[in-house]
Amino acid sequence: MPVDLDAAAEGKSQFDLVKVERGHLSDAALAVFVGQSKRTPENYQKPHAEAEAKYETIVNVVQKNPNRAALAYSPADVRSLSKQGKFAVVISFLNAFPLGKNLSQIDTWYDRGVRIFGFNHAGNNDWADSSRPVSGFGDKQDEIGGLSDLGKQAVAKLNEKGILIDVSQLSTKALYETLSLTKAPVAATHSAVRGIVDNTRNLSDEELQAIAKNGGVVQIVAFSVLTERQSAYSNRTRRYA
């Protein structure tokens, strides 16, 4: 989402309220997303500023269009706004890197409206191992061994605040550790099935079953271009339906 987004007008970006209304979309999670980089003191400043800019962009969607959209802080808000004919915006936070090593930042972002939290993206950080470690950042496979002590504390904090934990992009060890610690269901908000596309960011059958046992949900990503294997799978699914 571009930081200079004019949500009231249709533009070249993937999101604006014109597209939302044309697609009859009632609500969506808009992410304060900052990509990973090397974990150096100087690199912690830039992602913090970028997170602030992304947050302001999301808030501006509703502040500049109060008759068309509003922030939702709970499931009840989503349902209420839908009845009012307003687009409900749920704020998510993807990649803990901008938070440095400060657990109290979760409280800060909760107060600012964040209700979904994902530990990482492509690259390990101080909170958890990623399913896609980046050698250029100095990452090693399973270098933490799942969640760090900070990440474990964060699971408890997120449960306490009522923030939904997003397990997409976690390493397998970090995913299982999160499931063992959390007192609430989780969600994988942007994952796919590794049995169809063998990519480390996708979820194995065992991981899918573990999330189901937790009572969580998995949102399957839809792509406009299918691989040959995906196309064959889709055809088989249609035949058996």
CA atoms within 13 A of residue 203's CA, in its CB half-sphere: 26
- Specify which residues 29 forms β-bridges with: 90
Question: In one letter, which amino acid is 59?
Answer: V
pLDDT at 227: 52
Closest CA to 67 of 50, 87, 89: 87
Phi/psi of residue 195, each to 5°? -65, -20
Output the pTM of the full model.
0.89
Other residues' Cβ atoms within 10 Å of the Cβ of residue 198: 10
pLDDT tens for the chain, 241 residues long, are 677 789 999 998 889 999 999 999 999 999 999 999 998 888 888 898 999 999 999 999 999 999 999 999 999 999 999 999 999 999 999 999 999 999 999 999 999 999 999 999 999 999 999 999 999 999 999 999 999 999 999 999 999 999 999 999 999 999 999 999 999 999 999 998 999 889 999 999 999 999 999 999 998 877 655 555 544 444 443 333 3
Q: How many helices (H) and strands (E) does the chain have?
A: 8, 7
**Alpha-carbon gap, residue 206 to 192, rounded angstroms:** 13
Q: In the chain, what are the domains?
A: 17-240 (3.20.20.140)
Rg, C-alpha atoms of the chain: 18
**Alpha-carbon gap, residue 166 to 33, rounded angstroms:** 13
Q: What is the DSSP letter of 215?
A: T
**Alpha-carbon gap, residue 19 to 6, rounded angstroms:** 12
